[in-house]
Amino acid sequence: MSDNSPIIMWFRRDLRLSDHPALTAACQSGRPVIPLFIHDAQSEALGAAPKFRLGLALGCLGETLADKGSRLILRRGDALEVLREVIETTGAGAVYWSRLYDPAAIDRDTKVKETLKDNGVEACSFAGHLMFEPWTVETKTGGFYKVFTPYWKAVRGRDVAAPLATPSDIPAPPNWPESAALDDWQMDAEMQRGRDVVRPYVRLGEAAAQARLGSFMAHIVEGYDESRDMPGEDGTSALSENLSLGEISPTQCWHAGQRAMQEGKRGAETFLKELAWREFAYHLMYHTPRILDQNWREEWQAFPWNEDERRVEVLAWKQGRTGVPFVDAAMRELQVTGRMHNRGRMIVASYLTKHLMCHWRIGQKWFEEHLIDWDPANNAMGWQWAAGSGPDATPFFRIFNPDTQLDRFDKGRDYTRRWIAEGRAKPGDEALAYFDAIPRRWGRSPEDDYPDPIVDLSEGRERALDAYRNRDF
């Protein structure tokens, strides 16, 4: 008996058509494919910027599918209930998806899989979000890696299957289920700051991501070793926002990086390493999901982190008016573009957790609300790395001096000039865009004087070191 019932392709954070194992398998079956996105509790819970960015991505994926004679069906509600409805109305006999690794997704997907199978519906999960499934990377003693370098040594030589082509045909079902209208979901509604300011900075969709990967490999990767540390330069891949939603796959990036390495491009290996850091973050989240909301090194529970979000110093940090140019530039870049250069992320995180002695969770939450490239694993690992509470973290006493960092990584002041308008005769458009992006109630104007430092850098440093010296663990 040949089963020609439709397969539901349940899209989540894999919003592309190329190198998509689940979609490829569905198309190769010869059965009709129903692409579906479900706006459920988990996408509802996203921060403002990630939700806004997801809305854009869904629109783009819908268009791409329509170009191929297919559709993206949008439904809202509990994932399992929606799947059952769609199965009911279309006679679908299978649901395919790409695996996710955060605990909430794992819980949901496990329950969905069990229930569907109990009801005689085929439920198949595929790889695609990662190159190395977290349970396939083990130390010699059978544990998981807690330090990046040995993790890197364990994975760098692995075969990563060649990327899959875009399916030439996505067979349509005889009748399409109903779909919600994306506009009705208003996924940009929570963007307090100007979404129109952020929008031009978004690199949206699969085609744009591929184009960026190409130009990165052609022009940037050669000098990536140094350029990636210079926030004033276009020296990174800047593909995080696309990787986050699966508009490009890590496998595609990996193979491009391997080719660049064979061509002798100097920075190629460093790029591969950065891709491995992303895998490592997922590896850690899978094996220790508490990394998402608790000190990974539990003894840090006893550290006197300040958890009061209402402190004026915290507000100044959030609003990019600490009076420390590197910190403020980076925080304003976040407001305007929804992204932040990695050097900036390290500096603002070090400043918040050390000079201001704030709990890293406060910064983590702020990023979760504002980053259009937000990723649960990377964000948690990054913050705990900077704070010193994480696995393979920077020691707490390693405190970045944001002014010294300026001389090392923004020597020509391109970056700080780009983002800070106050005190300048003719601020550029991007520096001014910050004042359009931020909520009006912040009461900031480009005519203001640039603020004095809220905390003296050496006093802040000494205060943090004192706390570290006096810790009782």
Partner DNA sequence: AGGAGCTTGGA
Partner DNA sequence: CCAAGCTCC
List residues binding DNA (CB under 7 A): 148, 274, 277, 342, 346, 394-395, 397-401, 404-405, 408, 457-458, 461, 465, 468-469
* Residue closer to DNA, measured from CB, 163 or 231: 231
Q: Distances from the Cα of 460 to the Cαs of 331, 356, 472, in angstroms?
A: 19, 7, 20
Euclidean distance between the first and the last CA atom of the chain, given in angstroms as a whole number: 66
Shortest distance (Å) from residue 56 CB to DNA: 28
* Residue closer to DNA, measured from CB, 219 or 398: 398
The contacts found for 190-194 with CB under 8 angstroms, 24 or more apart, are: 190/47, 190/48, 190/51, 190/52, 191/48, 191/49, 191/52, 192/48, 192/439, 193/335, 193/370, 193/437, 193/438, 193/439, 194/436, 194/437, 194/438
Token digits of residue 415 = 């970056």
Residues 6+ apart with CB under 8 A from 228: 235, 236, 267, 270, 274, 342
* Residue closer to DNA, measured from CB, 204 or 346: 346
Shortest distance (Å) from residue 254 CB to DNA: 17
* Residue closer to DNA, measured from CB, 129 or 278: 278
Which helix (H) or strand (E) covers residue 75, if one does? strand 73-76
Alpha-carbon distance of 276 to 195, in angstroms, equals 32
Shortest distance (Å) from residue 401 CB to DNA: 4
Contact 379, 304 (CB under 8 A): no
Shortest distance (Å) from residue 5 CB to DNA: 46
Count the neighbouring beta carbons within 10 Å of the beta carbon of residue 44.
11
* Residue closer to DNA, measured from CB, 216 or 280: 280
Shortest distance (Å) from residue 317 CB to DNA: 18
* Residue closer to DNA, measured from CB, 3 or 459: 459
* Residue closer to DNA, measured from CB, 144 or 277: 277
Shortest distance (Å) from residue 468 CB to DNA: 6
DSSP 8-state secondary structure symbol assigned to residue 371 = -
C-alpha dihedral (319, 54, 207, 74), degrees to nearest 10? -160
